Amino acid sequence: MNEIMNSIGQRMPSVDWIAFGLAVICSALTPFVYHLGLIVPVAVFLPSILRELGLLNDGDEFTRRVMHRAGFHTLLVVALLVFAIWSFKWLSHDMLTGETLRKIIMYPFVVSYILQYWGARDGAFRILLGIALWATLPIFPYLTSLYEVPGGQTGVVFGSLLGSSVVIIALAYLVRRWPRAGGVLLLAMFVASIAGSLRVTEATMARVAVPSMILQACIFPGTLGLALLLSGRREVEPVN
């Protein structure tokens, strides 16, 4: 946490801005264009790989430390996932090869990376705006009539996506204006996500979907809420 607090005001390299933005866009549109999913991990990790190989010299020592710490945090999360799966027989081993593993490798890296650059308040603000953008982008295929939901439910899906985006944007600005209140609300969402996930009773869902949802809840509302509460009032206004 001290590392995060000392990083307030740092500027993320332009390549990372572009890469993370591209990852958000491609991830949101993958349900409509499947092959876009191949671009997401490349966008997330390629800049750091090029820096580590010495082929991209746009950062300083701080950037390298952020990159290494984000990678270490990701390793810890993946190791925890592997340990949990092999310790609890009711967890499906499919989580080690499917969509869950892909997300568990990428999400901690991005969250750790951003929080280290901008601190808890401004980092959480940017992450939440990214999630809102991720929730909004699938609306465009519906608007252009490129995709329709079977059963005439397109309007329901459209309204759900738009409503989710508005709520997340409001939460982002709440976090920026009142970080402690935002932290409490994010932790409440974290607890509610876990409680809701554990209520799933179907055997197949309980073995795969529930652990997946819990892990994602830990990474996003859980991590952001905890970081905001721990930062307290020590965090100053970031340099734009």
pLDDT tens digits, residue range 153-210? 556 666 777 888 888 999 999 999 999 999 999 999 888 877 776 665 444 455 555 5
Strands (DSSP E) found in the chain? none
**Per-residue pLDDT, 10:** 66
> How far is the C-alpha of 126 from the C-alpha of 107, rounded, in Å?
14
Q: How far is CA 134 from CA 33, 114, 129, in A?
A: 15, 16, 9
Phi, psi (rounded to 5 degrees) for 233: -100, 10
> How far is the C-alpha of 91 from the C-alpha of 213, rounded, in Å?
13
Q: How far is CA 217 from CA 35, 37, 104, 107, 231, in A?
A: 26, 21, 11, 11, 20
CB 126 within 8 A of CB 116: no
Tell me the mean pLDDT in the region 5-20: 72
Continuous segment of H or E residues that includes residue 77:
helix 61-87
> How far is the C-alpha of 18 from the C-alpha of 42, rounded, in Å?
12
**Per-residue pLDDT, 4:** 45
CB 16 within 8 A of CB 126: no
Q: Is the pLDDT of residue 212 over 60?
A: yes
**Per-residue pLDDT, 161:** 75
Confidence of residue 92 (pLDDT cuts 50, 70, 90): low
**Per-residue pLDDT, 108:** 92
**Per-residue pLDDT, 7:** 42
CB 8 within 8 A of CB 118: yes
Confidence of residue 148 (pLDDT cuts 50, 70, 90): low
Kindly tell me the number of DSSP H helices and DSSP E strands found in the chain: 11, 0
Confidence of residue 5 (pLDDT cuts 50, 70, 90): very low
Question: Which pLDDT tens digit goes with each residue over 19-66?
Answer: 999 999 998 888 888 888 889 999 999 999 999 888 888 777 888 899
pTM of the model: 0.79
**Per-residue pLDDT, 239:** 37
> How far is the C-alpha of 19 from the C-alpha of 35, rounded, in Å?
17
Q: Is the pLDDT of residue 236 over 80?
A: no
Tell me the mean pLDDT in the region 90-118: 81
Confidence of residue 1 (pLDDT cuts 50, 70, 90): very low
Q: Is the pLDDT of residue 125 over 90?
A: yes
CB 83 within 8 A of CB 52: no
- DSSP assignment letter at 100: H
Q: Is the pLDDT of residue 3 over 50?
A: no
